[in-house]
């Protein structure tokens, strides 16, 4: 693609680094920005910069937050005896959109994947174990994607958490194998949480 401006070319190259954005889409986005008022573009730029520089991760659950402790973990209206273990922030958002869950979360920050060089030490597993020591948790819900990596992670976590006298369950498999939570419709996901089953039972299913 030939550009009449080095500034234009550099901007397109940066937009093209975004997931799912090719050069043609990147060019369309850049030209759109050029047609906006300078104040709008400045606001867009400063918002992204502020996001990157000021965003925090909740010191309790590791969800993305504006403060040291996220709104969910600091809410007295949530059931802190119920912890839903998820892969990342997108899954928290997907579950929250169902309006079927009133507990708190624990964001692992990924899934165990030996092929990608990701092991338990790369995830927020130890902090989950520590939470169970400090808080009166009555149930852990594994809400991980129905993939090989998700099942491997659940199997590992179950072994780590068996020492605690708590119920361990997993979302019902109304989600097809290979499905990721962020792409599941809200009704199906909400039903999967409500009809969750003990983890041991899911092994024979």
**Residue-wise DSSP of 83-140:** EEEESSHHHHHHHHTTT---EEEEE-SS--BGGGTB-GGGTT-HHHHHHHHHS---EE
The predicted pLDDT at position 44 comes to: 95
In CATH terms, is domain 6-50 a member of 3.30.830.10?
Answer: no
Architecture of domain 78-203: 3-Layer(aba) Sandwich (3.40)
Does the model's pTM come out above 0.85? no
Residue ranges, CATH 3.40.1360.10, the chain: 78-203
pLDDT tens track, the chain, 205 positions? 778 899 999 999 999 999 999 999 999 999 999 999 999 999 999 999 999 999 999 999 999 999 999 999 999 999 999 999 999 999 999 899 988 899 999 999 999 999 999 999 999 999 999 999 877 899 999 999 888 899 999 999 999 998 888 999 988 665 443 445 555 566 667 767 766 777 765 554 4
The pLDDT score that the predictor gives to residue 163 is 87
Q: What is the pLDDT of residue 177?
A: 39
pLDDT at residue 23, rounded to an integer: 93
CATH 1.10.8.420 residue ranges in the chain?
A: 6-50
Query: Taking the CB of residue 159, how many other CB atoms lie within 10 A of it?
Result: 9
């Amino acid at each position: 693609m030939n550009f009449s401006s080095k500034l234009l070319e550099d901007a397109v190259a940066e937009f093209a680094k975004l997931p799912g954005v090719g050069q043609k889409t990147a060019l369309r986005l850049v030209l759109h920005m050029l047609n906006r008022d300078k104040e709008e573009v400045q606001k867009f730029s400063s918002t992204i910069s502020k996001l990157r520089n000021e965003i925090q991760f909740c010191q309790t659950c590791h969800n993305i937050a504006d403060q040291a402790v996220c709104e969910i973990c600091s809410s007295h209206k949530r059931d802190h005896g119920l912890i839903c273990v998820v892969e990342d922030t997108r899954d928290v958002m997907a579950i929250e959109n169902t309006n079927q869950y009133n507990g708190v979360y624990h964001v692992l920050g990924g899934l165990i994947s030996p092929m990608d060089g990701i092991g338990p030490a790369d995830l927020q597993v130890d902090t989950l174990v520590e939470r169970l020591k400090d808080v009166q948790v009555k149930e852990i819900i594994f809400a991980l994607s129905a993939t090989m990596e998700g099942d491997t992670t659940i199997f590992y976590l179950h072994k780590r958490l068996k020492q605690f006298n708590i119920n361990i369950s997993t979302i019902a498999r109304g989600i097809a194998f290979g499905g990721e939570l962020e792409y599941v419709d809200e009704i199906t996901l909400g039903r999967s949480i409500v009809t969750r089953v003990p983890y041991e039972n899911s092994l024979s299913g």
